[in-house]
């Protein structure tokens, strides 16, 4: 076991309150103040919050109304994704000075395999420290890091000493570290699963480790085997530099609830056009179209259809989505609609044809 655990040196870098920190850096008047990136109107949603705002319980995905209620002094800032992407590229270039094995998870976090690195530095802990220093020097932003033998543990460790800190879990420390960890801190174990584990008497990694694989599979299905392995430090997923998106989508929250399918059609046309722009920019197409509907009572519904061919045209997207919209009656007023495309052409094995359907236009 220990021999297997010591094979790789993985670093997980996670920027601290990235979007909010960029806004505070670019506008010094916002420094030290509670800010939220996102919509502050009644139907708006927080995309990111500064640490000053988090003290009041303002988090990502909090509604603008609730965020303002929790923190009356909260300052809302419109997101500037082009700016975040620009700074993310600077950070990415720093990573690549150390290793080509960089797997970005988003604009603000990534895994790095530094087992063999370009600098010839034997200590992964020192590499993580150097990278954090370089990020601060070149962007003025802070990052946290986790260092360990696999991606799963490195991810947990990066959250341990946030903000602007790091933690290393050495091979000989892995099992004790996982046993002492509260079950809610296990990456990938969400609120619902945590509650279920509590009901089964599982509160820590040690409690989880005492359960057999059969027991965990019985209660958690396929995930049971995953839980059985990770608490023993077994997680063999490699750092994948060319990590491909599994789906591409776009969605919109409305200022007023939609009550008629006719109005929804109009909004879906706009969303389909926006999705087409994203798909063509990435040169992507897909076979599975999913319509996302969030009702005024916050219940969520998805409806999907898989085609025999790839599409990325707004006209074809809208036709499929329209079919899904009328698949069954809309049960309530709607506050959000979204369209996503999965089963992408990037998943097709090399050598296999990627036929993309297009919407033909005729002049009359």
Active site (catalytic) residues:
109
Map residue 313 onto helix, strand or coil.
coil
Contact between residue 210 and residue 228 where contact means Cβ atoms under 8 Å apart: no
The phi and psi torsions of 195 (rounded to 5 degrees) equal: -60, -40
Contact between residue 77 and residue 30 where contact means Cβ atoms under 8 Å apart: yes
> Which tokens go with 237?
């997923």
Q: What is the 3-state secondary structure (H, E, C) of 75-143?
A: EEECCCHHHHHHHHHHHHHHHHCCCCCEEEEECCEEEEECCCCCCCCCCHHHHHHHHHHHHHHHHCCCE
Q: Which helix (H) or strand (E) holds 255?
A: strand 247-258
Contact between residue 299 and residue 323 where contact means Cβ atoms under 8 Å apart: no
Q: Give dist(CA 186, CA 189) in Å, integer.
A: 6
């Amino acid at each position: 076991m220990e021999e297997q655990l010591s094979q790789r040196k993985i670093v997980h870098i996670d920027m601290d309150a990235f979007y909010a920190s960029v806004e505070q850096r670019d506008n010094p008047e916002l420094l030290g103040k509670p800010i939220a990136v996102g919509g502050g109107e009644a139907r708006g949603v927080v995309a990111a919050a500064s640490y000053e705002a988090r003290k009041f319980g303002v988090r990502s995905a909090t509604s603008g109304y609730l965020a303002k209620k929790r923190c009356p002094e909260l300052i809302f800032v419109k997101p500037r994704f082009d700016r975040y992407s620009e700074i993310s590229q600077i950070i990415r270039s720093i990573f690549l000075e150390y290793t080509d094995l960089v797997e970005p998870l988003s604009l603000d976090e990534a895994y790095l395999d530094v087992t063999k690195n370009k600098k010839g530095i034997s200590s992964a802990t020192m590499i993580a420290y150097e990278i954090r220093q370089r990020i601060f020097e070149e962007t003025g932003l802070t990052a946290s890091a986790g260092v360990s033998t696999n991606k799963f543990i490195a991810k947990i460790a990066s959250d341990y000493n946030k903000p602007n800190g790091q933690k290393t879990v050495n091979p000989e420390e892995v099992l004790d570290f996982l046993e002492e960890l509260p079950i809610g801190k296990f990456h990938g174990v969400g609120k619902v699963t945590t509650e279920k584990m509590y009901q089964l008497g599982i509160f820590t990694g040690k409690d989880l480790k005492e359960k057999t694989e059969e027991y965990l599979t019985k209660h958690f299905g396929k995930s049971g085997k995953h839980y059985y392995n990770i608490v023993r430090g077994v997680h063999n997923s490699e750092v994948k530099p060319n990590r491909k998106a599994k789906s591409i989508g776009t969605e919109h929250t409305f200022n007023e609830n939609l009550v008629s399918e006719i109005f929804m059609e109009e909004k879906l046309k706009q969303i389909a056009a926006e999705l087409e722009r994203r798909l063509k920019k990435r040169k992507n197409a897909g076979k599975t179209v999913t319509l996302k509907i969030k009702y005024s009572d916050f219940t969520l519904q998805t409806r999907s259809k898989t085609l025999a061919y790839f599409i990325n045209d707004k006209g074809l997207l809208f036709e499929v989505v329209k079919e899904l919209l009328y698949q069954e009656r809309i049960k309530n007023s709607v506050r959000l609609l979204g369209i996503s495309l999965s089963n992408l052409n990037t998943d097709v094995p090399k050598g296999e044809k990627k036929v993309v359907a297009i919407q033909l236009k005729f002049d009359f």
